[in-house]
Amino acid sequence: MATSSDETPKTPVTAPVTDPVPTGRESVPPAVPPAPAAAPKKLRPTRISGTWIAVLVAIVVLTFLLVFILQNGGNATIHFLWGQFSLPLGVALLFAAIGGALLVAIVGAARILQLRRQAKRVTGRPATSSPARPVS
């Protein structure tokens, strides 16, 4: 009965193949072994995928906003400065939210401009997010 130790050793698959008939040249093994298969890279999110997510979030927010406006349809009298307006309550609150968002955006834009001017003064060059291009 033959056991595995009695068998002749098999040549490994990666061993160089030699010609049975001598031709005057020997087969040379590759100088660099092949690299093992690399694990697949994780893909980075793209700008379009970020935009797609923002669109989906905006749809959800607008749906909730529509429900809010429809449920608060009763008229409300708004007194602002010298005027008096009668609007549905949901619409009046929507205008108030838009006004608050615009106020925050104006203050934020002013602060960003202030920081850019300060960075330009300190470094002596414009503050940009991209590196300066070499002059050709």
Amino acid at 26: E
Cα separation, 93 vs 75, whole angstroms:
12
- When pLDDT is cut at 50, 70 and 90, the band that residue 78 belongs to is confident
pLDDT of res. 106:
95
Indicate whether 34 pLDDT > 80: no
Token duo for residue 59: 């749809």
Cα separation, 91 vs 68, whole angstroms:
9
| Higher local confidence (pLDDT), 78 or 45 | 78
**Nearest by Cα to 72 from 98, 102, 103, 95:** 95
For 80-111, how does the pLDDT look when each residue is reduced to its tens digit (9 = 90+)?
A: 888 898 988 888 888 888 999 999 999 999 99
Global confidence as pTM: 0.48
Cα separation, 91 vs 32, whole angstroms:
72
pLDDT of res. 39:
66
Contact 89, 74 (CB under 8 A): yes
